[in-house]
Amino acid sequence: MIAKPLDRATKMILAAKCPLIMVGGAASRLDQHSIAQIRDIARRLGIPYFATQLGKGVMAEDSDLYMGTAALSKGDHVHVAVDKADLIIAVGYDKCEKPPFIMLEGGPKVIHIAYQPASFTQAYRPHLEVIGDIGSSVTALADRLEGKLPNAGALLPLREGILALNCDGADEEMGLVTLDGLVHAVELGQKILTADCDPKTEFTRLILFAKKKKASFAKLKDKKFAFGKADYGKQKDRPDIIVKSKKKPKGKKPKA
């Protein structure tokens, strides 16, 4: 591990007024010791962090430093903090990942800490690379910076609002999504896909029905839905699906 990039990274972090740590997919493939070292730098420095979709699970999401997950490249709730940051410490960002943010002129500076050099794209162009063992790199930075960052938690006042946005739009009348409820939702999806109809249209209709009737997924399990353009060949052994169609099945009428 080269000392000069660590020296430059130290200076950049010391100068930052609103630092933020990002944990990427490559970090999730490390051994437990290295993962513990990544968690340790956030704890020791007090810098808030967020994860990419592939980086989820590395950092504790019940920590007061957790800001959320970037599911989109822009416009996601966590980007409220990303847009305010002046420095992002990208730990283990993998080039195969969808960019968790788009680097623009005048945006935050980025330090890339990984085993492999960054693949420079229009969306991701780090200002500094610290290439080598990730766990050793972040530990070396923590040793140099612990107790020296008065602005470490500058973005933390945004945390409560960001997490509240993550919960916004949840329909309380629909109830909690339990494992049992998820199973019923999957069963409904299977019914939709078995029928010869437009899955997107029918699924939308099911959701609207649930909201209108204030029904939970659990209550929907016994509800039968009618689908148009039925395929009798597929559905003849599916008595749980009500078939409504003007077309009658081909063949002779059964004898009385």
- Asked whether 244 and 226 are in contact (CB, 8 A), the reply is yes
Q: pLDDT at position 72, please? A: 77
Tens of pLDDT, residue by residue over 163-219, are 887 665 444 444 455 555 555 566 656 555 555 555 555 556 555 655 554 444 444
Start-to-end Cα distance in the chain: 87
Mention every residue, 6+ apart, whose C-beta is less than 8 A from residue 233: none
Q: What are the E-state strand segments in the chain? A: 19-23, 49-52, 66-70, 87-91, 109-114, 128-131, 226-227, 242-243
- Which DSSP string corresponds to 179-193? HHHHHHHHHHHHHHH
- pLDDT at 73 (0 to 100): 78
pLDDT tens track for 78-94: 989 999 999 999 999 98
Q: What is the pLDDT of residues 6-18, one digit of tens each?
A: 999 999 999 999 9
> Cα(59)–Cα(28) distance, rounded to whole angstroms?
9
Q: How far is CA 50 from CA 101, 141, 202, in A?
A: 11, 18, 36
Q: What string of DSSP letters covers 85-107?
A: -SEEEEES--TTSPPSS---TTS
* Bridge partner list, 91: 23, 113
Domain with CATH 3.40.50.1220 in the chain: 3-167
Helix (H) or strand (E) holding 111: strand 109-114
List the CATH code of the domain at 3-167.
3.40.50.1220
How much is the pLDDT for 234?
47
Environment class of 90 (CB within 10 Å of its CB; exposed 0-12, middle 13-18, buried 19+): buried
